[in-house]
Amino acid sequence: MSEQTFTLDKQPSGGQHEVLLDARDVEVHFPIRRGVIFDKTVGYVYAVDGMTLQIHKGETYGLVGESGCGKSTFGRALLRLEEPTNGTVTFDGTDLATLRGDALRRKRQDMQMVFQDPLSSLDPRQTVESLLLEGMHAHGLTKDKEAAGARLRELLSAVGLPAAALRKYPHEFSGGQRQRIGIARALSVDPQLIVADEPVSALDVSVQAQVINLLEDVQEQFGLTYLVIAHDLAVVRHISDRVGVMYLGSLVEEADSDELYKTPLHPYTRALMSAVPIPDPLVEDRREQILLAGDLPSPANPPSGCRFHTRCPWRQEERCDTERPQLRVVQIDGVPTSHRVACHYAEQIQSGQIQRHEVTATAVDPAALEDLPDVNLQEGGGQPFSTQ
């Protein structure tokens, strides 16, 4: 076989703790413009507002949070599909901000995205063959025609589609099959990292598990690293090694997946987990129920101090309203240092020293909401937060 032949049997590097992607203090602020003649900037949407996280080679990092908290914008900023306002993204040792033109294009080959709605991300006028060849062609992977043909067949087989699919168009497939094509397209350029943005939320529940299993299979086969974005805690739990919980533009908690589900420490995470039904009726009766008051505040006008203080049942006067908590290791017996929480009072809440109190929902300023562009709908996002 020629050099153009691709290896489909790459194994994960085994370097579980080798950092592949390192995002530091990433911010993406979208200007809000007003006026036809004097196109004035009247404010900013603080979509991503201080995200720091590392993704290790071969792992799956799950990112969860309510609709509008900035998950997709962060995913896009990692791939530099969105220019960060501040912060750095280092991929495989290279600061992406230092790359331009061809160098950035080559690096992008290593980072691919799988979208929520494959139909809107697949050109309806192109056959599956031309969709898959497009990326390979752009990255110079089609010079050897025979190898490229073999690659196409291998890709289809890896995602469980017959070779005959190559001649068909996206509309001829079901939602699950289209997502398989989306995954094959991402794999076609032999990436290291895949950012999967709500990869199964547009699919029927019966098909979701198949696509999740497929993502896991190809991860092992191709030695991939994943960032899986979802509003569904169950999806993230199933697939992730580590999970980060995002609230209004930044992480509030991060831990190994099992640890986070066993011991959620941040009040926001506790509230999310408290909504997950537990199949054991005895446990179900005893479990903590925390109803979140009010909606997610507008990212155009985020609360001061701890962003969660307007909805937090453990909020403490002054400090919570004025000082923004950093993601930190907590001093709680049995909680590992890999479990980090952005709450001033995580220890006291866990020990019961600080008790819950009633929260009165604060109305979100409608004027601030008017400023928000309707991008979620365009991208097929905007689902309510789901825990099942």
Contact residues for ligand ATP, defined by CB under 6 A: 30, 45, 47, 65, 67-73, 231, 299, 372-373, 375-376, 381-382
The answer to whether 46 contacts ligand SF4 (rule: CB under 6 A) is no
361: exposed, middle or buried (C-beta count within 10 Å: 0-12, 13-18, 19+)?
Answer: exposed
Work out the number of other CB atoms within 10 angstroms of the CB of residue 347: 16
Work out the number of other CB atoms within 10 angstroms of the CB of residue 35: 9
Binding mask 53-92 for Mg ion (x = CB under 5 A): -------------------x--------------------
Distance CA 349, CA 337 (A): 18
Cβ nearer to ligand ATP, comparing 58 with 302:
302
The answer to whether 176 contacts ligand SF4 (rule: CB under 6 A) is no
Residue 47 CA neighbour count, 13 Å, CB half: 24
The answer to whether 345 contacts ligand SF4 (rule: CB under 6 A) is yes
Stretch that binds ligand SF4, among 146-154, 204-212, 309-317, 356-364 (CB under 6 A): 309-317
Binding mask 346-385 for Mg ion (x = CB under 5 A): -----------------------------------x----
The answer to whether 325 contacts ligand SF4 (rule: CB under 6 A) is yes
Cβ nearer to ligand SF4, comparing 86 with 326:
326
3-state secondary structure of 24: strand
Burial 8-31 (b: 16+ CB within 10 A, else e): beeebeeeeeeebbbbeebbbbbe
Q: Name the residue whose CB lies closest to ligand ATP.
A: 381
193: exposed, middle or buried (C-beta count within 10 Å: 0-12, 13-18, 19+)?
Answer: buried
3-state secondary structure of 89: strand
List all residues 6 or more positions away from 198 whose beta carbon is below 8 Å from its beta carbon.
72, 115, 116, 229, 230, 231, 381, 383
3-state secondary structure of 156: helix
Stretch that binds ligand SF4, among 83-91, 327-335, 338-346, 376-384 (CB under 6 A): 338-346
Binding mask 245-284 for ligand SF4 (x = CB under 6 A): ----------------------x-----------------
Cβ nearer to ligand SF4, comparing 110 with 321:
321
Stretch that binds ligand SF4, among 106-114, 130-138, 274-282, 306-314 (CB under 6 A): 306-314
Q: How far is the CB of 104 from ligand ATP (least distance, A)?
A: 20
The answer to whether 306 contacts ligand SF4 (rule: CB under 6 A) is yes
- Considering only 238, 315, 339, 340, the residue that binds ligand SF4 (CB under 6 A) is 315
φ/ψ of residue 313, rounded to 5: -75, -5
Which amino acid is located at 145 in the chain? K
List all residues 6 or more positions away from 161 whose beta carbon is below 8 Å from its beta carbon.
128, 177, 180, 181, 184
CA angle 195, 199, 201 (to 5 degrees): 145
Stretch that binds ligand SF4, among 139-147, 162-170, 179-187, 341-349 (CB under 6 A): 341-349
The answer to whether 211 contacts ligand SF4 (rule: CB under 6 A) is no
* DSSP, residue by residue, 221-237: HHT-EEEEEESBHHHHH
Stretch that binds ligand SF4, among 59-67, 218-226, 230-238, 301-309 (CB under 6 A): 301-309
Catalog residues that contact ligand SF4 under the rule CB under 6 A: 267, 306, 308-309, 312, 314-316, 320, 325, 343-345
Catalog residues that contact Mg ion under the rule CB under 5 A: 72, 381
